[in-house]
Amino acid sequence: MGPDGGAGPVIVASKTVAEPAAGGRVKIGFKLYASLTDYLPAQARASNRVELEVAPDATIADVIAPYGLPMKLVHLVLVNGRYIAPADRATRTFEEGDVLAIWPPIAGG
């Protein structure tokens, strides 16, 4: 069991999402669901999560950018289980321990 209670280990990613600002880095969790897991490093796909260290002024858009996610697939965005509207994703920053989770549009029937 992983540290977040999910199955499998948590993978630490080495992607740079923003330049460090004064005051150090902020550790966050980054989770992608459904077809978006294909954008994670191969070793992280089973747990669908990576741990990142980001600049204190890094936004959701900054975190997403290095992963190459098509914005049309970035549908449901949550930080710590709270919905983040599209208009707020370019300005919403993180606090230590936040978890960013993203789902693609899902069709059902």
Using one digit for the tens of pLDDT, what is the confidence trace for 51-83?
Answer: 999 999 999 999 999 999 998 999 999 999 999
Give the CATH number, domain containing residue 54: 3.10.20.30
Q: In terms of pLDDT, which residue wins out, 106 or 5?
A: 106
- Give the pLDDT confidence score for residue 8 in this predicted structure: 39
State which residues form the domain around 49: 11-103
DSSP summary character for residue 2: -
pTM score, whole prediction: 0.77
Region of residue 65 (left: phi > 0; alpha: psi -120 to 50; beta: else): alpha
Answer yes or no: is 64 within a domain.
Answer: yes
Answer yes or no: is 41 within a domain.
Answer: yes
CA 48/CA 9 separation, integer angstroms: 10
| HSE-up (13 A, CA, CB side) for residue 16 | 4
Domain count, the chain: 1
CA 36/CA 45 separation, integer angstroms: 9
Answer yes or no: is 74 within a domain.
Answer: yes
Answer yes or no: is 109 within a domain.
Answer: no
Residue 60 CA: distances (Å) to CA of 2, 3, 79: 24, 23, 9
Torsion sign over Cα 39, 6, 59, 83:
positive
The H or E element spanning position 71 is none
Answer yes or no: is 80 within a domain.
Answer: yes
Answer yes or no: is 57 within a domain.
Answer: yes
- Give the pLDDT confidence score for residue 4 in this predicted structure: 45
